[in-house]
A and B are shown apart, each in its own frame.
Chain A
Amino acid sequence: MGNEGVRPLRFDGSASYVATAELALAVNAAITLERPLLVKGEPGTGKTQLALEVARALDAPLFEWHVKSSSKSRHGLYEYDAVSRLRDSQLGDERVKDIANYIVPGMLWRAFESERRAVLLIDEIDKADIEFPNDLLRELDRMEFYVYETQKLVKARHRPVVFITSNNEKELPDAFLRRCFFHYIRFPDAGTMERIVAVHHPGLKKALLAEALSAFYRIRDVPGLRKKPSTSELLDWITLLVAEDIEPAALRSDDPKAAIPPLYGALLKNEQDVHLFEQLVFLNRRAGRPG
């Protein structure tokens, strides 16, 4: 990084994203060493958001490749649009003679071709077939691939900053993992959470925030929940609370009528969880009643 004219590529979180120091370090290490960063963590902890924010912070173009269960690795490289070519050949179009007219570049290709250093997000890589990551080894390692139809080698002008997210639905192969850096976004503690909420709801009343956070962590601590509410659900919930103009006092647990927080539908997404929560609240209330 001896180049003085170049703005150092560094990421410390941004105006709309709170990155812990350890996350910032992992991101910066991945940027410096030009390795892909694999990000895991509970759903709703901002894995996908990270790539968007890094792209914004570095002022780099962002290419998003959302992986689905039917995705194949070649979808990210390029696709050969055989149907168009077939139609053109029937119509006698001149374009048909050049096969390059029917090669549609994928996200990886477009990130490689970018004039500036790009950020590439490969979202939810675990959704695809189990062989999918293995098929991308060479592409991510050397940042180049070969287009067989046109006999052309596509090589990255600038190695893009690659973010890969996974929800742990499938085990990723070792050979793939060895090429990545890895960071597990843990669930934010109360302090970090306050910063996150402050970033998203700057004008929030202190009292409401404190009550909402304590209600939120209380719900997360209920044992046996199938899906614990996460950061994004907390943010949704606070948006609702603000929109409905709920009083902070209504969130307090010692108010028997409001033992179930208002608008809890934003936090609990599963009728078994709601049921369990209601039962626990009912039991608590009975236990707490004098006499």
Chain B
Amino acid sequence: MLIRFFQMLRAAGVPVSVTEFLALLEALSKGTVTFAGLPAKVTVPSGSLTERFYWLSRAVLVKDERHYDRFDRVFAAHFRGAEAAFEALLSADVPADWLAKQFALTLSDEDKARIESLGGWDALMETLRRRLEEQKGRHQGGSRWIGTGGTSPFGNAGYNPEGVRIGGEGVNRRAVKVWERRDFANLDDSVELGTRNVKLALRRLRRFARQGAADMLDLDATIESTARRAGLLDIRMVPERRNAVKVLLFLDIGGSMDDHVRICEELFSAARGEFKHLEHFYFHNFVYESVWKDNRRRHGERTPVPQVLHTYGPDYRLVFVGDATMSPYEILQPGGSIEHWNEEPGAAWMKRLLASFPRHAWLNPEPQDRWEYTPSIRITRELVEDRMFPLTLGGLDRAMRSLQ
């Protein structure tokens, strides 16, 4: 049963290894889920057996919250309908009275109404707390949970001391749905790019070059080497470390691009330390004769593109971020811009930029398989000499490599 679960996880792209699978079996055999081996006075944590198995297997098998969602889906598919059998399996060595609690965990609507009739949540909480204090004494005596059955308001609740939550966010039977709630769906980033991975990829841009003469005292190495030679002074020198990479970032802003632009800005500013210089400019849809640095004052303070060409030398790497999705006229025709009358087509300005900055790349957040069907993307790709890359980790990696 578990081996198939393991294989399904691998098939779904959760990177689990045999080591982790064995660790899970070890955890199960040590009674982490059933608490079979623990002395009776230890309170059993809340949650049904399956739920606790879910938590345990997730902690052991999944090592990244991005994979939680995939794990949830596999778990749901694998254990749907099999819970009863599975719980029986897990609890094979658990006393029968313990299992009875599992059934007591279901709160019917009737029960809920009765709780209301007892004065609402607050009064109930108070009573429950007092009841729990008494309960501790009885725990020692052997009984494990709060009054089974009968008329006690907590009769079939089976709440234990650390799960004193009534209504609201009950951990009991609703628990079956823990993995069906898909709480972690937005953490799965196999499609989109989070700031995390990108920073790694951007490190490719960093080229800490130790070049030139050894003209800097390497204090640590000197001390170490001197000490190792029992006090005979041994001076060590290293060349100065320089980060030589300079980046010019052009960001498409407005409309559908805003989210991506925010990611990219964060990205590049996170990596600012890695670059010697990082300058950014904004454009809308395509570059024309001017760009701007502050989007709120885009109509007032613009920088003419010729000025950009003259200010920054050819050692800058030029990175565009944009979806390049627009009408082809906006690239090819004079006056094609949707915002103003442009004397020259965008393509002409693009060619000038690319000629000045031979090392360039275009990052496109649109999925790569759609590129072929959008004429403007095809045109842009030809313009940038096919150096357009998807805004995914792999694409970024290739883009950074092509910039070197």
Contact = CB atoms under 8 A, between A and B. Distances in A.
B193 interface: no
Contacts, number: 115
A13 B162 contact: yes
A47 interface: no
A83 B163 CA distance: 55
Nearest to B16: A178
Contact of B65 (A8, A172, A184): A184
Interface in A169-191: 169-172, 174, 177-178, 180-184, 186, 189-191
Interface in A1-54: 1-2, 4, 8, 10, 12-13, 19, 21-22, 24-26, 28-30, 32-33, 35, 37-38, 40
A71 interface: no
Contacts of A82: 223-224, 226-228
A89 to B, nearest CB: 4
Given A89-B230, A184-B65, A25 B59 contact: yes
Contacts of A151: none
What interface size band does chain A fall in?
A: 35 or more
Residue from B32, B38, B161, B165 having most chain A Cβ neighbours under 10 A: B32
A22 B55 contact: yes
A191 B52 contact: no
Contacts of A180: 63
Contact of A89 (B43, B199, B203, B231): B231
B38 A32 contact: no
Specify which of B15, B63, B68 lies most central, judged by the most chain A CB atoms within 10 Å of its CB.
B63
B61 to A, nearest CB: 9
A102 to B, nearest CB: 9
A83 B227 contact: yes
**B: interface residue count bin:** 35 or more
Interface in B22-70: 23, 26-27, 30-32, 37-39, 42-43, 45-47, 52, 55-56, 59-60, 62-65, 68
Given A83-B227, A86-B226, A21 B63 contact: no
Q: List the 8 closest pairs (A to B, CB-CB), nearest first.
A: A82-B227, A177-B63, A26-B59, A184-B65, A191-B169, A22-B55, A191-B168, A89-B231
12 contacts: A12-B161, A12-B162, A21-B162, A24-B45, A29-B32, A32-B30, A35-B23, A82-B223, A86-B231, A169-B196, A169-B199, A195-B165
Interface of B: 15, 17, 19-20, 23, 26-27, 30-32, 37-39, 42-43, 45-47, 52, 55-56, 59-60, 62-65, 68, 161-163, 165, 168-169, 171, 183-184, 187, 196-197, 199-200, 203, 223-224, 226-228, 230-231
